[in-house]
Amino acid sequence: MTDTIIIEKAQAWLNSNIDEKSKAEIHALLNAQDQTELIDSFYKDLEFGTGGLRGLMGVGSNRMNVYTIGMATQGLANYLKASFPEEEISLAITHDSRINNTLFAETTANVLTANGIKVKYFRDMRPTPMLSFAIRHYGCKSGVMVTASHNPKEYNGYKVYWDDGGQVVAPHDKNIIAEVMKIKSIDDVNWAKDDTLKEYIEEDFDNIYLDEVKNLSMSPLTNLAEKDMTIVFSPIHGASGKMVPDALKVFGFENVHVVKEQIEPDGNFPTVKYPNPEETEALDLSIKLAKEINAELVLACDPDGDRYAAVVKNENNDYELLNGNQTGALIIYYLLNMYREQGRLTGNQFTVSTIVTTGLLGEISKGFGVEYYDVLTGFKNIAAVILANEGKKEFIAGGEESYGFLVGDFVRDKDGVSACAVVAEIMAYYKQKGLNIIDVLAEIYMEYGFYKEALISITKKGKDGAEQIQELMKGFRTNKPKSINGIAVSKIVDVQESISYDMKSGTEEKLELDKSNVIQFYLEDGSKISARPSGTEPKIKYYISVNENLPNRDAYRATEASLEAKISALKSFFE
Residues taking part in catalysis:
149
Helix axes 556-574, 437-448, angle to 10 degrees: 70
For 109, list phi and psi in degrees, rounded to 5.
Answer: -65, -40
In the Cβ-directed half-sphere of 289, how many Cα atoms lie within 13 Å? 20
**What phi, psi does 455 have (nearest 5°)?**
-125, 130
Contact 453, 545 (CB under 8 A): yes
* CA pair distance 499, 515, nearest whole angstrom: 10
Distance CA 463, CA 87 (A): 42
Distance from chain centroid for Cα 331:
17
How many angstroms separate the first and last alpha carbons of the chain? 30
Q: What is the DSSP string of 295-352?
A: -SEEEEE-TTSSBEEEEEE-TTS-EEEPPHHHHHHHHHHHHHHHHHHTT---S-EEEE
User: How many other C-beta atoms lie within 10 A of the C-beta of residue 526?
Assistant: 16
Q: Is 203 left (phi over 0), alpha (psi -120 to 50) or beta?
A: alpha
Residue pair 149/307 in contact by the 8 Å Cβ criterion: yes
Spatial contact of 532 and 543, defined as CB atoms under 8 Å apart: yes
Cross-strand partners of 454 = 544
Helix (H) or strand (E) holding 108: helix 101-114
